[in-house]
Amino acid sequence: MKTIISGGCVCGKVQFTVEDDFEHFYFCHCEQCRKMTGSAFATNLFTRPDNIQWTEGQEFIKRYEHPTRTFSQVFCTHCGSSLPYVSKSGKALIVPAGSLNTEPSKTPDAQIFCSEETQWHIAGLTAARFPKFPE
């Protein structure tokens, strides 16, 4: 029996569950992923397209399809949080790792599009670390 993981947006209006059954787990450093997340990389898990049950708030889900590229973004219309979506090809459900309420059992497979990794991200890997905002 597979473990069920819950997830949702930061405001709580959209909720879902997925089986902890992921084929791939990537950190993507491409420009599109950086712009869509506002961070150094996207952290996405890949599973079969039917591995999701929306339990609350489907009316708050919005999908953006880039008109000339093969990427999408799905998010909560209330708070903007990234949410799972089926790829344009229909072959995979892409689950933003940060949308899960608990950690999946799968660990990252690879960092991809590292040729597009930012220098500020590389420098940040050796920056001071704090448990909260520094004083």
- Give the contacts of 29 (CB within 8 A, at least 6 positions apart): 40, 41, 111, 112, 113, 114, 116, 117, 118, 121
pLDDT at 65: 83
- Evaluated on CA atoms 131, 94, 33, 111, the torsion sign reads positive
pLDDT at 13: 98
Q: d(Cα 46, Cα 23) in Å, to the nearest integer?
A: 6
Half-sphere exposure of 46 (CA within 13 A, CB side): 15
- Local structure of 19: helix, strand or coil: strand
32 compared with 14, residue with greater pLDDT: 14
- Local structure of 62: helix, strand or coil: strand
97 compared with 67, residue with greater pLDDT: 97
Q: What is the mean pLDDT of the chain?
A: 94
pLDDT at 83: 97
What is the CB neighbour count within 10 angstroms for residue 22? 21
| pLDDT tens-place string over residues 18-34 | 999 999 999 999 998 89
Tell me: pLDDT of 135 over 90: no
| pLDDT tens-place string over residues 33-76 | 898 889 999 999 999 999 999 999 999 999 998 777 777 899 99
Half-sphere exposure of 30 (CA within 13 A, CB side): 11
Domains delineated in the chain: 4-124 (2.170.150.70)
Tell me: pLDDT of 118 over 90: yes
Which one, of 7, 3, 31, 23, lies nearest residue 96 by Cα? 7
